[in-house]
Structure 1
């Protein structure tokens, strides 16, 4: 931010944000339980074996419990739990697929593309963006720019910031408005983990949890906290909520930008 910010910043909007791994990753199992993806018995065993701080728990009972839950959820799309699991690692059996306790994701190969898979669009976008005629039309000179990647998991870095909760406390306490929203069908960064770190800020509740509406229907639920921090869920949204619920997210953002309650 600096003493003299280069931008006339008034506030910020973030969606399904990875914020603090001690909140975000451990919330996946309670979320899976709330959504009926694991049984009461599995969840109770998990709580007994792993305790509260599961991010640091390495005992054998906890590991075995993680493995059992992982096996149970291998066929679930963690970015939107109601959508088909189409990652190239999953082939329809319980021993393949991405794991619940990882953050990574995989692009589909061409042979995996089907009409059921939202990910087909991600793969096709890379094919389109790297097409020679498209690059020429965009003014990309041959040999000057590498291939376009939707998600470059190979980007080198030297610092891994484990938590930015205090950043949010600092910025919002200095008068900047914030809208923090979560698609309620995302298990990558579940809405309950975002709620948890927001509560850890200790801000008073100004407007209690209530539904918000778009196109005459309940589109999610919202809470307004002190320091102009608004939290909202997007009903039916996945990890990238506007991708799944564009009309609802546009209505939410439009109201927030105009200074009206969500």
Structure 2
């Protein structure tokens, strides 16, 4: 196995936390109309792990609005993915960015920073612009990553004491469904034993969350059946022969395996992120695969997408993701963000993209976070769990199943919620009651037409949802 050694052009014996206010960025005309801070905070032994973050102050009332720690999924997706494609104040202007020029930004009118202060963090080391000064720093488990992120947040609050009294929420989507509940548990435990500073933790928010490997995967077939992607006959035969087991079927059961082959024939050519959109070549490497080199994609697919003559073809959402490679790997951009210069012995350039991952990033991935949710139901917190209802990667059916397994009391059963007078999705409210006193509540919501993940597909509806939830209003 090839070993990678990380060197920096910094004096690593003095890599204290750093932060900078960024007033302008390449690709955006004029000064930024919001407060953007970037920086590094060291965590772990000798602070060898340096986590990079983007902090954007609320555009409404920074001193009063919630403070949100946002974790992008993957595992190993850059925080820029959530910032640019989901809930941040900037998004690419695709009409002005096409043709091979430099990517151009527009303001996102549905940014969650309209109503919240948000910290976007690249975690763990090896993700985005975060790094480690030791090889050991890249060998992380989900629990270790959660502990490091919790340490990061405590140090960030020490450095930003003006936000200590703001309501704090841990939020994220996709694979963050595994990490975030662990972080919430870490913060809660730390508050109980007197760790300083005390964090004003109010709850957590998860979108399209990876939660339990078996539940998530086994929900694909019922989802496909409800969406008319497989027939009643296929579904009934599968349930009879496979007993609902899609993740680990009995391979000696010939009837079950025939059913699974038939089902895969029906759904195998669909784009699982949003079943109504076309399936296309993936231009960003998927982190779990750990096989694709982002540099290859930058040299190949980027040039094809930005420079080739237009030919008849279906529009694909993946085409949007090429711009973040081009923008984030530009040296001028990295200078503007105050990125530290980190390089490998073979002088490979730093590469970052929507789903970019360092080739040496090693993870011990957890199979389930349901037990963490179950533990948290005994705490005085709030939870918002939402799902795009056209996401077949992590179907809402599986998410609803594990929520039901928590044995909470249903306060409000399935009902529609609205934006501009139109149904935006459906929602339920659960609570944990102790001696008729509610100590925990969980809001589950689907986002109509949303994919993986919902804010990228339905930004207006998701902003309305989170704004109401933060303010304790019904959806």
TM range (shorter): 0.7 to 0.9
Q: Summarize the alignment of residues 1-262 of structure 1 with structure 2, pairs less than 5 Å apart.
A: 1=186, 2-4=189-191, 7-60=199-252, 61=254, 62-88=256-282, 109-110=301-302, 111=304, 116-143=315-342, 146-152=350-356, 154=359, 156-226=361-431, 227-262=440-475
Instruction: Pick the structure with more strand per residue.
Output: 2
Instruction: Give the drift of 1:218.
Output: 0.7
Instruction: Give the drift of 1:172.
Output: 2.8
Q: Gaps spanning 5+ residues in structure 2: where?
A: 1-185, 307-312, 344-348, 432-439
Instruction: Give the drift of 1:72.
Output: 2.0
1:178 and 1:229 in contact (8 A); partners too: yes
C-alpha change, 1:201 and 1:39, in structure 2 (3 Å) is same
Question: Any idea what SS the aligned residue of 1:221 has?
Answer: strand
Aligned residues between the structures: 250
Q: List per-residue Cα deviations over 1:96-137 (Å, max 9, x = no partner).
A: xx9xxxx86989733468671111111221122112332233
For 1:158 and 1:188, how far apart are their aligned partners in 2? Answer: 21
CA RMSD of aligned residues (A): 2.6
Q: List per-residue Cα deviations over 1:235-261 (Å, max 9, x = no partner).
A: 010011011101100000000000111
For 2:360 and 2:342, how far apart are their aligned partners in 1? Answer: 19
For 1:257 and 1:158, how far apart are their aligned partners in 2? Answer: 33
2:246 and 2:260 in contact (8 A); partners too: no
For 2:329 and 2:314, how far apart are their aligned partners in 1? Answer: 22
2:282 and 2:318 in contact (8 A); partners too: no
1:88 and 1:112 in contact (8 A); partners too: no
More relative contact order in 1 or in 2 (CA 8 Å, sep 6+)?
Answer: 1
C-alpha change, 1:125 and 1:35, in structure 2 (3 Å) is same
Choose 204-213 or 68-77, whichever is displaced more: 68-77
2:429 and 2:444 in contact (8 A); partners too: yes
Instruction: Give the drift of 1:228.
Output: 1.0
Choose 125-134 or 204-213, whichever is displaced more: 125-134
C-alpha change, 1:104 and 1:239, in structure 2 (3 Å) is farther
Q: Gaps spanning 5+ residues in structure 1: where?
A: 90-97
1:210 and 1:222 in contact (8 A); partners too: yes
1:183 and 1:238 in contact (8 A); partners too: yes
Q: List per-residue Cα deviations over 1:132-157 (Å, max 9, x = no partner).
A: 33223323354458311322455633
C-alpha change, 1:200 and 1:135, in structure 2 (3 Å) is same
Instruction: Give the drift of 1:158.
Output: 4.8
TM-score by length of 1: 0.86
Structure 1 equivalent of residue 14 of structure 2: none
Question: Any idea what SS the aligned residue of 2:462 has?
Answer: helix
Instruction: Give the drift of 1:75.
Output: 2.2
Instruction: Give the drift of 1:181.
Output: 0.3
Instruction: Give the drift of 1:59.
Output: 2.0
